[in-house]
């Protein structure tokens, strides 16, 4: 089976939706000899910031000389991005072979896993075979019933909580916090959010936790001209190559976890100056026009994008290309976008699961009736370029993926 056929079959399982519970993944991993028990794991949950935190952890562990696996989602351009060892993506051949192995197991044992459960099982097995010493593991959704939550981590990290996936995780912060805290086991916990709902949920599970916003409340920082963030802790300077005040929280969560496992400040300093995380305030082009890509797929993420944009540009100097999936808070996201951009171009994601056309999206939201609709993404991008403004493309990681692929095919 070639890679196209393999991924077609694997993606078809997304139609099964999301199944709550860990029985499937536990059964599959047991049949595989529980590969997740072969390395040390740093497990990350949170509404936003998981990817940035994971990438800081990965870079620092690599700088310290460890062999490191990293599991993140979603991917932007290709499935291989999800499963990485020492920054090298899993090969097409390995994807095919691990999928074939797991498909045989589930057929023989009459199991019916989801897309994410199979992907997670592939990842655990691949990292074992690669001889990883540390694995940086990002939850897919929530925590308590997430397929990654079968591991016994060295440290659990919770980046933050805000409203997202409310149809699955709950429509209030108390319920969402409980779901995220489901990753907490009998090992230390690091949190980078002081919301009382999160503190309460954490303390119901453990007293062995550090709230980094409290511990490092005297931290100082500055946003740099070249889209970086300099952070000062105890007379030490960390030049983080990710931009934004919110990145300080992500850095502090990663920093505290790294100190707990004995990684030196020098390793962390060297690592953070060269981290890169696509699709999160990614400066796609520094030429004229400047093009910025950001998933911004929930209100909290859109608010953070707003902070970043307004720290650099005036609202009337920004044009935004946007599409948002149907299960997201479209009005809330667009309200945040309208605070940093005078001009919005609605475009289509109807070829993606849960996506709509630009005109359908416009019909579904309030207060945005006078904006432009152009379903063809390349034509929408050309319209944006004619404005001579900074271009922001946001609202969904699927939109970023579509944009990058469309640009490459020109």
Domain positions in the chain: 3-272, 282-408
Please tell me the distance from the alpha carbon of residue 126 to that of residue 97, in angstroms, as a whole number. 10
Residues 6+ apart with CB under 8 A from 225: none
Residue with tokens 């453990």: 206
Structure confidence at residue 3 (pLDDT): 95
Q: What pairing do the DSSP bridges indicate for beta strands 229-233 and 236-240?
A: antiparallel
Q: Do residues 47 and 164 touch, judged by C-beta distance below 8 A?
A: yes
Domain 282-408 is found in CATH 3.90.190.20 = yes
- What CATH class has 3-272? alpha beta
Asked whether the predicted pLDDT for residue 17 surpasses 80, the reply is no
Report which of residues 83 and 359 the model is more confident about: 83
Residues 70, 161: Cα–Cα separation, whole Å: 22
- Kindly calculate the radius of gyration of the chain based on its CA atoms and give it in whole angstroms: 21
In tens, the pLDDT along 194-213 reads 999 999 999 999 999 999 99
pTM higher than 0.85, yes or no?
A: yes
Mean pLDDT confidence for 230-236: 94
d(CA 387, CA 376): 17
- Residue range 249-269, pLDDT digits in tens: 999 999 999 999 999 999 999
Q: Look at the alpha carbons of 82, 85, 87, 89 in this order and tell me if their dihedral is positive or negative.
A: negative
As given in the structure block, the two tokens for residue 257 are 């976890």
Question: Residue 378: is it exposed, middle or buried by C-beta count within 10 angstroms (0-12/13-18/19+)?
Answer: middle
pLDDT digits (tens, 9 = 90+) for 148-205: 999 999 999 999 987 655 555 656 888 899 989 999 999 999 999 999 999 999 999 9
Cα–Cα distance measured from residue 81 to residue 340, given in angstroms and rounded to the nearest whole number: 31
Q: First vs last Cα of the chain: how many Å apart?
A: 29
pLDDT higher than threshold 70 for residue 409: no
pLDDT confidence tier of residue 356, bands split at 50, 70 and 90: confident
Helix (H) or strand (E) holding 254: helix 246-260
- Residue 60, classified by CB atoms within 10 Å of its CB into exposed (0-12), middle (13-18) or buried (19+), is buried
**Is the separation of the CB atoms in 391 and 362 below 8 Å?**
no
User: pLDDT tens digit string along 53-78?
Assistant: 999 999 999 999 999 999 999 899 99
pLDDT band per the 50, 70, 90 thresholds, residue 129: very high
pLDDT band of residue 15 (cuts 50, 70, 90) is low
User: Using 50, 70 and 90 to split pLDDT, how confident is the model at 371?
Assistant: confident
Question: Is the model's pLDDT at 230 over the cut of 70?
Answer: yes
pLDDT at res. 16: 60
pLDDT on residue 182 = 93
Name the nearest CA neighbour of 124 among 199, 57, 50, 28.
Answer: 28
DSSP 8-state class, residue 211: E
pLDDT at 352 over 60: yes
Backbone angles phi, psi at 236, to 5 degrees: -110, 145
Q: Decide: helix, strand or coil at residue 372.
A: strand
Read off the pLDDT of each residue in 344-354 and give the average, rounded to a whole number: 89
Half-sphere exposure of 280 (CA within 13 A, CB side): 25
Res 143: pLDDT: 85
Q: Record the tokens describing residue 165, joined without a space.
A: 């996936």
d(CA 186, CA 157): 13
Tokens coding 36: 């997740």
């Amino acid at each position: 089976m070639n890679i196209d056929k393999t991924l077609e079959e694997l993606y078809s399982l997304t139609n099964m939706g999301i199944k709550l519970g860990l029985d499937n993944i536990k059964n599959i991993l047991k049949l595989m000899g529980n590969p997740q028990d072969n390395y040390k794991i740093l497990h990350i949950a949170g509404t936003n910031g998981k990817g940035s935190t994971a990438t800081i952890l990965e870079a620092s562990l690599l700088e310290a000389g460890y062999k490191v696996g990293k599991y993140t989602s979603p991917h932007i351009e290709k499935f291989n991005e999800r499963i990485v060892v020492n920054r090298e993506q899993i090969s097409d051949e390995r994807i095919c072979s691990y999928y074939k192995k797991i498909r045989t197991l589930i057929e023989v044992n009459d199991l019916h896993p989801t897309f994410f459960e199979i992907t997670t099982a592939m990842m655990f097995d691949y990292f074992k075979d690669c001889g990883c010493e540390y694995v940086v593991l990002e939850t897919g959704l929530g925590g308590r019933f997430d397929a990654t939550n079968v591991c016994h981590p060295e440290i659990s990290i919770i980046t933050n909580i805000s409203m997202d996936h409310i149809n699955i995780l709950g429509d209030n912060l108390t319920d969402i916090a409980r779901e995220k805290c489901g990753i907490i086991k009998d090992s230390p916990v690091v949190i980078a959010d002081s919301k009382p709902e999160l503190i309460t949920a954490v303390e119901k599970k453990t007293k062995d936790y550090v709230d980094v916003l409290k511990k490092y409340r005297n931290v100082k920082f500055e946003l740099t001209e070249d889209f970086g963030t300099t952070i000062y802790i105890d007379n030490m300077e960390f030049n983080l190559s990710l931009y934004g005040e919110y990145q300080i929280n992500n850095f502090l969560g990663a920093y505290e976890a790294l100190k707990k496992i004995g990684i030196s400040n020098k390793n962390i300093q060297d690592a953070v100056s060269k981290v890169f995380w696509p699709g999160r305030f990614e400066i796609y082009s520094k030429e004229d026009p400047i093009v910025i890509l950001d998933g911004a797929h929930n209100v909290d993420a859109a608010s953070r994008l707003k902070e970043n944009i307004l720290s650099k540009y005036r609202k009337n100097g920004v044009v935004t290309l946007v599409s948002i999936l149907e299960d997201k808070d479209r009005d809330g996201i667009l309200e945040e976008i309208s605070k940093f951009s005078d001009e919005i171009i609605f475009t289509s994601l109807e070829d993606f699961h849960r996506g709509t056309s630009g005109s359908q999206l416009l019909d579904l939201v309030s207060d945005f009736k006078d904006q432009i609709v152009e379903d063809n993404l390349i034509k929408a991008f050309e319209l944006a370029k004619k404005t001579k403004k900074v271009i922001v493309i946001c609202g969904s990681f699927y939109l970023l993926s579509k944009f990058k692929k469309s640009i490459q095919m020109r």
